[in-house]
Amino acid sequence: MPIPTPSPAHRSFRTTRWTVVLQAGDQNSPIRQQALAELLEAYWYPLYSYVRRQGYSADAAEDLIQAFTANILEKNIFRSVREGQGRFRNFVLVCLRNFLASESERARALKRGGNTPALSLDFSTASARYQHEPTHNATAERLFERDWALDIIEKAFSRLADEWTKAGKQKHFQILSKYLIATSAAPPYAEAAAKLGATEGAVKTAVHRLRAQFRQYLCDEVFTTLGNDDLLEDEIRHLFSALAV
């Protein structure tokens, strides 16, 4: 897949994302807890899923993730993060592994919420979502990468859907989005043409443009997770490799 150049708006957003990372590690920042909440909101499910794959129940995994967020606040773990050092998700996963290794016994004994103020994370759908996770012998680390990749794709797809809806083309998107990924399961172009009152050629052209737009948004979303522009092309390839798990 050709790698698009990140759009100027998302170059700015990436800078903002890393500003959030730095604020989360700055004890003097007045919005430190807000910044930390924003980061963990983006990563909590892959982390929760990783903990479940270590053999913990749903309740225990919730306790551990809440205790992990409290631990981040107490020890100011994000203070060592610097823009340009690489993939933030890898840093977060290493922090979680270290936490599980050194403090899992204490964490299991904590009541949900504990005595230390923790961040509010919505676990209401986590257990049901986890039931749909694949059951095979891939490592928890590889499945963490898969969950990250799926979240990135979901964000790009949602952005695309929102844009088409705002343009008054919700029906077109519902029909054409079935062709975002070329598979044998996609209906014939003639079927879409009949529903839209268009020619097959027009549908093919629209699908080509939709795919290009999706690639752009996917690239933008990946770009916001990096601290180094040079990693972008490799990260896109890594994303699709992670989906093969």
In the chain, where are the structural domains located? 8-127+134-243
pLDDT at 120 (0 to 100): 57
In this prediction, residues 2-8 reach a mean pLDDT of: 54
- Is residue 200 pLDDT above 90, yes or no? yes
- Residue 151 contacts residue 159 (beta carbons within 8 Å): no
What pLDDT is recorded for position 103?
60
Please state, in angstroms and as integers, the Cα–Cα distance from residue 133 to each residue in 8, 13, 46, 77, 181, following that order. 35, 31, 11, 29, 21
Our CA angle for 83, 89, 157, nearest 5°, is 105
Whole-number Å distance between alpha carbons of 93 and 139 = 14
SS3 226: strand
pLDDT in tens, 202-231: 999 999 999 999 988 888 888 766 656 677
Residue-level pLDDT at 46:
85
DSSP alpha helix (H) spans, the chain: 8-24, 32-52, 58-75, 88-109, 126-130, 140-166, 170-176, 189-196, 200-223, 232-243
Q: What is the DSSP letter of 231?
A: G
- What is this structure's pTM? 0.61
Checking if the pLDDT of 140 tops 70, the result is yes
The predicted model gives 186-192 an average pLDDT of 93
**Interval 41-68 mean pLDDT:** 85
Residues 74-94: what's their mean pLDDT?
A: 72
**pLDDT higher for 110 or 209?**
209
Sequence-separated (6 or more) residues with CB below 8 Å from residue 73: 33, 36, 116, 117, 118, 119
Pick from 76, 60, 58: which is nearest to 111 by CA?
Answer: 60
pLDDT at 63 over 60: yes
Q: Best-predicted range by mean pLDDT among 87-91, 122-126, 210-214?
A: 210-214
pLDDT of residue 12: 41
Instruction: List phi, psi (to 5°) of 46.
Output: -55, -35
Give mean pLDDT, residues 127-142: 69
> Of 57-61, 114-118, 179-183, 190-194, which gets the smallest average pLDDT?
114-118
Angle at the Cα of 149 from the Cα atoms of 147 and 151, rounded to 5 degrees:
70
